[in-house]
Protein backbone atom coordinates (compact mmCIF):
# COMPACT_ATOMS: atom_id res chain seq x y z
CA UNK A 1 0.00 0.00 0.00
CA UNK A 2 1.31 3.43 -0.93
CA UNK A 3 2.18 5.92 1.76
CA UNK A 4 -0.66 8.38 2.45
CA UNK A 5 -0.54 11.88 1.02
CA UNK A 6 -0.24 14.38 3.85
CA UNK A 7 -2.33 17.55 3.75
CA UNK A 8 -2.21 20.39 6.25
CA UNK A 9 -5.45 22.35 6.31
CA UNK A 10 -5.14 26.09 6.80
CA UNK A 11 -7.76 27.89 8.89
CA UNK A 12 -9.31 29.25 5.70
CA UNK A 13 -9.97 25.70 4.49
CA UNK A 14 -11.59 24.73 7.79
CA UNK A 15 -13.78 27.83 7.75
CA UNK A 16 -14.86 27.09 4.19
CA UNK A 17 -15.79 23.56 5.27
CA UNK A 18 -17.58 24.65 8.45
CA UNK A 19 -19.56 27.40 6.72
CA UNK A 20 -20.03 25.41 3.49
CA UNK A 21 -18.54 28.25 1.50
CA UNK A 22 -16.73 28.04 -1.82
CA UNK A 23 -14.32 25.12 -1.78
CA UNK A 24 -15.93 23.24 1.11
CA UNK A 25 -16.60 20.21 -1.10
CA UNK A 26 -12.88 19.90 -1.83
CA UNK A 27 -12.16 19.83 1.91
CA UNK A 28 -14.91 17.27 2.46
CA UNK A 29 -13.43 15.05 -0.25
CA UNK A 30 -10.07 15.14 1.55
CA UNK A 31 -11.77 14.02 4.76
CA UNK A 32 -13.25 11.10 2.81
CA UNK A 33 -10.09 9.99 0.99
CA UNK A 34 -8.48 6.86 2.36
CA UNK A 35 -5.07 7.83 0.96
CA UNK A 36 -5.05 11.23 2.72
CA UNK A 37 -3.52 11.98 6.09
CA UNK A 38 -4.92 15.27 7.36
CA UNK A 39 -3.11 17.46 9.87
CA UNK A 40 -3.42 21.00 11.21
CA UNK A 41 -1.03 23.37 12.94
CA UNK A 42 -1.73 24.34 16.56
CA UNK A 43 -2.24 28.06 15.76
CA UNK A 44 -5.18 27.03 13.58
CA UNK A 45 -7.12 26.10 16.71
CA UNK A 46 -6.79 29.64 18.07
CA UNK A 47 -7.37 31.31 14.73
CA UNK A 48 -10.48 29.21 14.04
CA UNK A 49 -11.87 29.98 17.48
CA UNK A 50 -11.30 33.71 17.11
CA UNK A 51 -12.90 33.75 13.68
CA UNK A 52 -15.95 31.82 14.91
CA UNK A 53 -16.36 34.31 17.78
CA UNK A 54 -16.24 37.17 15.26
CA UNK A 55 -19.01 35.40 13.32
CA UNK A 56 -21.21 35.33 16.43
CA UNK A 57 -20.49 31.96 18.02
CA UNK A 58 -20.41 31.60 21.80
CA UNK A 59 -17.32 30.32 23.60
CA UNK A 60 -19.14 27.04 24.26
CA UNK A 61 -19.97 26.67 20.56
CA UNK A 62 -16.36 27.43 19.63
CA UNK A 63 -15.05 24.85 22.09
CA UNK A 64 -17.43 22.22 20.74
CA UNK A 65 -16.63 22.99 17.09
CA UNK A 66 -12.87 23.09 17.58
CA UNK A 67 -12.96 19.85 19.61
CA UNK A 68 -15.03 18.08 16.92
CA UNK A 69 -12.63 19.18 14.18
CA UNK A 70 -9.57 18.09 16.19
CA UNK A 71 -10.90 14.53 16.19
CA UNK A 72 -10.75 14.45 12.37
CA UNK A 73 -7.00 15.04 12.18
CA UNK A 74 -4.11 12.64 12.41
CA UNK A 75 -1.97 15.27 14.14
CA UNK A 76 -2.07 18.77 15.55
CA UNK A 77 1.42 20.03 14.78
CA UNK A 78 2.95 22.02 17.65
CA UNK A 79 5.08 25.03 16.82
CA UNK A 80 8.68 24.45 17.82
CA UNK A 81 11.94 26.27 17.05
CA UNK A 82 12.45 24.50 13.71
CA UNK A 83 8.95 25.39 12.52
CA UNK A 84 9.36 28.97 13.73
CA UNK A 85 12.57 29.27 11.70
CA UNK A 86 10.89 27.68 8.64
CA UNK A 87 8.10 30.26 9.02
CA UNK A 88 10.68 33.04 8.99
CA UNK A 89 12.33 31.69 5.82
CA UNK A 90 8.98 31.26 4.06
CA UNK A 91 7.96 34.79 5.03
CA UNK A 92 11.24 36.25 3.82
CA UNK A 93 10.91 34.52 0.45
CA UNK A 94 7.24 35.26 -0.20
CA UNK A 95 6.46 37.95 -2.76
CA UNK A 96 3.83 39.39 -0.39
CA UNK A 97 3.93 39.98 3.35
CA UNK A 98 2.58 37.00 5.30
CA UNK A 99 0.78 37.43 8.62
CA UNK A 100 2.68 35.66 11.42
CA UNK A 101 -0.02 33.04 12.02
CA UNK A 102 -0.07 32.15 8.32
CA UNK A 103 3.71 31.87 8.25
CA UNK A 104 3.67 29.53 11.27
CA UNK A 105 0.99 27.36 9.66
CA UNK A 106 3.01 27.31 6.43
CA UNK A 107 6.14 26.37 8.35
CA UNK A 108 4.27 23.46 9.93
CA UNK A 109 3.17 22.24 6.49
CA UNK A 110 6.73 22.43 5.22
CA UNK A 111 8.14 20.64 8.28
CA UNK A 112 5.69 17.76 7.83
CA UNK A 113 6.18 17.59 4.04
CA UNK A 114 2.48 18.29 3.68
CA UNK A 115 0.49 19.99 0.96
CA UNK A 116 -0.98 23.20 2.36
CA UNK A 117 -4.71 23.43 1.58
CA UNK A 118 -6.11 26.96 1.70
CA UNK A 119 -8.12 29.65 -0.02
CA UNK A 120 -5.90 32.65 0.75
CA UNK A 121 -4.59 34.42 -2.33
CA UNK A 122 -1.61 35.90 -0.47
CA UNK A 123 -0.27 32.40 0.24
CA UNK A 124 0.07 31.65 -3.47
CA UNK A 125 3.07 34.00 -3.61
CA UNK A 126 5.15 31.53 -1.59
CA UNK A 127 7.68 29.90 -3.93
CA UNK A 128 6.72 26.33 -4.90
CA UNK A 129 10.25 25.20 -3.99
CA UNK A 130 9.46 26.05 -0.35
CA UNK A 131 5.89 24.81 -0.01
CA UNK A 132 3.50 22.59 -1.94
CA UNK A 133 0.01 24.08 -2.06
CA UNK A 134 -3.50 23.28 -3.11
CA UNK A 135 -5.90 26.18 -3.33
CA UNK A 136 -9.52 25.23 -2.92
CA UNK A 137 -11.31 24.41 -6.16
CA UNK A 138 -8.08 23.70 -8.00
CA UNK A 139 -6.40 20.37 -8.72
CA UNK A 140 -3.96 19.00 -6.16
CA UNK A 141 -0.32 19.73 -6.83
CA UNK A 142 1.36 16.60 -5.58
* Residue boundaries of the structural domains of the chain: 5-135
- 17-38 tens-digit pLDDT: 999 999 999 999 999 999 999 9
- Which CATH superfamily includes the segment(s) 5-135? 5'-nuclease (3.40.50.1010)
Whether the CB-CB separation of 108 and 142 falls below 8 Å is answered with no
Distance from C-alpha of 107 to C-alpha of 114, rounded to nearest angstrom: 10
- Write the pLDDT tens digit of every residue in 110-137: 999 999 999 999 999 999 999 999 999 6
Q: Is the pTM of this model over 0.85?
A: yes
Distance from C-alpha of 116 to C-alpha of 131, rounded to nearest angstrom: 7
DSSP element (H, E) containing 31: helix 24-32
Cα–Cα distance for residue pair 131/89, rounded to 1 Å: 11
d(CA 104, CA 141): 21
pLDDT digits (tens, 9 = 90+) for 57-102: 999 999 999 999 999 999 999 999 999 999 999 999 999 999 999 9
Q: How far apart are CA 80 and CA 130, in angstroms?
A: 18
Handedness of CA 25, 126, 131, 75 (dihedral sign): negative
In degrees to the nearest 10, what's the CA dihedral of 16, 17, 19, 24?
Answer: 70
Amino acid sequence: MAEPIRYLLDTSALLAHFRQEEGWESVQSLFEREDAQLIIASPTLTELGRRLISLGATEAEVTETVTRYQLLFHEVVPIDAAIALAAFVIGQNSARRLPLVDALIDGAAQARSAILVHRDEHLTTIPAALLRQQTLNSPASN
